[in-house]
Amino acid sequence: MAAHPKLGTGWVGARARVALSWASVSATPRKPNLSRGEKVIPGLWRLKLPLPWPLVPHGNAFAVADGDGLLLIDTGIHSEESMDNLEDALNQCGLSVDMVHRIVCTHAHADHAGQAMSIKDRTGAEILINPALEHMRGYVSDPDGTLDYRLSRALLCGVPPEAVERQRETRRGMNSGFDRVLEPDRDLVEGMTIPSDLGDLNVIETPGHAPSHVVLHQPEGRLLFSGDHILGRVSLYYDVGYTPDPAGEFLASLDKVASLGARLCLSGHGKPVNAIPELAAANKAAVEGRLRAIRSSLATEPLSAWEITSLLYEGMPEEPRIGWFLPETLAYLTHLAILGEVVRDGGEPVERWAVAPAASQATAAA
């Protein structure tokens, strides 16, 4: 296999696998997205809820027996059909939305917390979520303003103006996936315990994917409600611009979770899996691989974040490259800058990144 002109032979295979994965996902005909409820263990039910996104066709909520009612972990997105979808999934388990008296959201993304307020309106349930909610409040209260900010950042990263305008036309006026700004009744923070019939669920803060992210650990049953921190496959995404080092925070969170001794991963997408330490290790390996690829891409010349993203994810369609993979690249560049390995030139209208002088000298000396 010929070496990539900037990334070498080691990245070509990984990049090719990413491209093949995209093609298989986007080209495979999909069954209609239907809600489904199923028992996992006594007192715990998985609720598979439809999502409007081709690459992420469903998300999970979990119903947990809690005295004479239910604890609902995550809620699904808000849409015209979303409450009916949730009710249908619960009915398949012999349950009802009206039984929900407590809602715990693993993080403030729409597919996990979008209809929390609507459920509260219906049942009076209290809502618990981590208080680091800036990334949600701005987007929900002013989605077009948030879009303008993100697209101006994309221009600074080197995305061509015509591509930015295509994104603006496509995304302007889109529904946020929340019925309104989420206002919790209690803050969900490290060290709290949430009672349930499964036993106490310990709250562990795991920022990275989102500043508000937490997981819930039930130690006796070795259960982990992992939200989007760990899925049954490696899938990396970061909210960028709200915390100093999202990628570094994610790596530290993986170490916390891997040390818990939990086995059954009840994640925000996909089926439950018994492989938490292995999945944490796979996520760390994926991040390290992307960091190595970025170091290699900058070895010969300064590049914009968009140029690096296009090298790493060659063949990806424009929309996910801008919306998903560019923020991921920015998270890794920020992490490498904190480590002292790269610097940005602060240029306008496009800023570029380069190997830091000290790092370059150390490499030459080695």
3-state class (DSSP) for residue 247: helix
Q: Residue 170 CB: number of other CB atoms within 10 A? A: 12
Mean pLDDT by 10 residues, the chain (366 residues): 38 34 43 87 98 90 98 97 98 98 98 98 98 95 94 97 96 92 98 98 98 98 98 95 97 97 97 95 97 97 97 92 96 98 95 88 53
Which residues make beta-bridge pairs with 10? none
User: Among all chains, which residue has been given the structure tokens 């530290």?
Assistant: 252
Torsion of CA 148, 151, 152, 158, to 10 degrees: -170
- The domains of the chain, with CATH numbers, are 34-159+170-287 (3.60.15.10), 288-353 (1.10.10)
pTM above 0.85, yes or no: yes
Alpha-carbon span 251 to 286, nearest angstrom = 11
Which residues make beta-bridge pairs with 186? 128
Cα–Cα distances (Å) from 221 to 62, 67, 203, 271, 290, in that order, read 16, 18, 15, 18, 34
Alpha-carbon span 117 to 130, nearest angstrom = 15
- Tell me the two tokens of residue 134: 């800036």
Torsion of CA 149, 153, 156, 157, to 10 degrees: -160
* pLDDT score, position 359: 63
